C-alpha cells in the first residue's frame, strides 16, 4: 500500500461545477496535510493546508480532513478552465518537516 494514494484521473468537470478530489494516507501519526497545484511543466504551488478535523475554506477551495478515516479531500467550487492542472496531496510525516506526496490527480475543466 502506498503511503499517500490519489486517483490519477483525469477528473473531467464542466465549467462552473464542483471538482472533488480525494486522498488517503497510511501513517496515523501524520499531523498536517497539504494540497498543491501543479500546472504542466511547472513546479508545485501550495493551495492550502489543514491539520484539524473538519473543513477549511479558502476562496473557492475547501479542504476536508477526517483523521479517523485517514482521508483528506479538496473541493473546488465554480471550477474554471484555469483550474485544469494536477493536484498533489502531501502529508507531513510524524517527525520533522518531511512530506510524502501522492501521485496526483489530473483535473480537466471543460468550458
Residues engaged in binding other proteins (CB under 8 A): 4, 8, 31-32, 34, 42-46, 49, 51, 88, 90, 92, 96-104
* 62 in Cβ contact with 77 (< 8 Å): yes
- Rank residues 17 and 99 by Cβ distance to other proteins and give the closer one: 99
> In whole angstroms, what is the distance from residue 15 CA to residue 70 CA?
30
Q: What are phi and psi of 83, to 5 degrees?
A: -85, -5
Least Cβ distance, residue 61 to other proteins (angstroms):
15
Contacts of 67 (CB under 8 A, 6+ apart): 28, 53
Q: Using the structure block, give the residue that is written with the C-alpha cell 473538519.
A: 54
- Rank residues 44 and 81 by Cβ distance to other proteins and give the closer one: 44
Least Cβ distance, residue 68 to other proteins (angstroms):
18
Least Cβ distance, residue 16 to other proteins (angstroms):
29
Amino acid at each position: 500500500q502506498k503511503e499517500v494514494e490519489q486517483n490519477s484521473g483525469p477528473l473531467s468537470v464542466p465549467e462552473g461545477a464542483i471538482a472533488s478530489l480525494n486522498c488517503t494516507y497510511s501513517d496515523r501519526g501524520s499531523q498536517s496535510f497539504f494540497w498543491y497545484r501543479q500546472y504542466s511543466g511547472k513546479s508545485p504551488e501550495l493551495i492550502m493546508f489543514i491539520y484539524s478535523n473538519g473543513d477549511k475554506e479558502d476562496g473557492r477551495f475547501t479542504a476536508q480532513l477526517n483523521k479517523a478515516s485517514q482521508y483528506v479531500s479538496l473541493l473546488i467550487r465554480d471550477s474554471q478552465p484555469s483550474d485544469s492542472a494536477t493536484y498533489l496531496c502531501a502529508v507531513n510525516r510524524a517527525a520533522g518537516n518531511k512530506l510524502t506526496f501522492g501521485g496526483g490527480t489530473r483535473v480537466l475543466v471543460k468550458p
